[in-house]
Amino acid sequence: MADMKIPRATAKRLPIYYQYLNILADAGQKRISSSEFAAGVKVDPRTIRRDFSHFGTLGKRGYGYDVADLLAFFKKILKQDQVTKVALVGVGNLGHALLNFNFHRDNNIAIRAAFDIDPAVVGTTIDDIRVYPLTELQNQLQKQAIKVVILTVPEAAAQTVTDQLIAAGVEGIMNFTPTRINVPATVIVQNVNLTSELQTLIYFLNHRTLDQQGTNKE
Ligand code: ATP
């Protein structure tokens, strides 16, 4: 399962499916038809069938999906059955907001350490997360066995910090900087550019047709 290759677009939809299944399970729903599921996640039923086909047979024809079974399956796939430790580098406005966002309240993602070069922020604690000087990066990441990092440094520092992350053994970077960072093939980067997401939304607003209303764009 760990080596399974699935399309990136599919991988991006898995958390949506997982979150919706959690809502269903919390509401005590035991079973859901594929069309209800599609309506709930606002994804085309054919796309869902194609996504699910990467994992074998997940539903039964004429029955739909067993909520608990499917939830358990995605929990495992998304590693939500174990805590993933994460660090954040760059405690500016965005970094600060993400530390306060507290991923761990709803998910098994825990930000365990933050790093910065600014003496004004180094040594402080934000929502129980200690801000270390950047010089402590390698030491702390290795000591705490952290392999995933959220990068919220200024654009100019993005590559230098990335190189330090790689040297410290980081395997996954959530890159909030607008820079396309260079990493070796063993490291996975997820780029999150809030400005371009907003620009895309504005583009769709200005070019929408009636049949696009109420749809989700990936
Ligand atoms: P943003 O809203 O993007 O977070 P900001 O104005 O709050 O912007 P930036 O100048 O983008 O702050 O810097 C973000 C944080 O990154 C700051 O706290 C800054 O001290 C820190 N920073 C800058 N360079 C480095 C670096 N090389 N390593 C670690 N942190 C850095």
Residue 1 has pLDDT above 60, yes or no: no
**What average pLDDT score do residues 83-105 get?**
89
Instruction: Check if the beta carbon of residue 67 is closer than 8 Å to that of residue 25.
Output: yes
Residue 49 has pLDDT above 80, yes or no: yes
**What average pLDDT score do residues 180-201 get?**
93
Q: Is the Cβ atom of 152 under 6 angstroms away from ligand 1? A: yes
Q: Between the CA of residue 210 and those of 46, 57, 168, 206, what are the distances in Å?
A: 21, 35, 50, 12
CA of 18 to the centre of ligand 1 (A): 33
Q: Retrieve residue 171's tokens.
A: 């395997």
**What average pLDDT score do residues 152-167 get?**
98
pLDDT score for 58 = 74
pLDDT score for 119 = 97
pLDDT score for 163 = 98
pLDDT score for 3 = 46
Instruction: Band the pLDDT of 210: cuts 50, 70, 90.
Output: low
pLDDT score for 217 = 64
Percentage of the chain exceeding pLDDT 70: 91
Cα within 13 Å of Cα(191), Cβ side: 13
Averaged pLDDT score across all residues of the chain: 90
For atom 11 of ligand 1, the residue with the nearest CA is 154
Instruction: Check if the beta carbon of residue 174 is closer than 8 Å to that of residue 190.
Output: yes
CA of 206 to the centre of ligand 1 (A): 33
**Of 8-12, 54-58, 209-213, highest mean pLDDT:** 8-12
Residue 132 has pLDDT above 80, yes or no: yes
pLDDT score for 135 = 97
Instruction: Band the pLDDT of 107: cuts 50, 70, 90.
Output: confident
For residue 199, which amino acid is it?
Q
What domains can be seen in the chain, in order of their start residue? 8-77 (1.10.10.10), 84-195 (3.40.50.720)
pLDDT score for 136 = 97
For residue 30, which amino acid is it?
K
Q: Is the Cβ atom of 183 under 6 angstroms away from ligand 1? A: no
Residue 218 has pLDDT above 80, yes or no: no
pLDDT score for 2 = 42
pLDDT score for 31 = 93
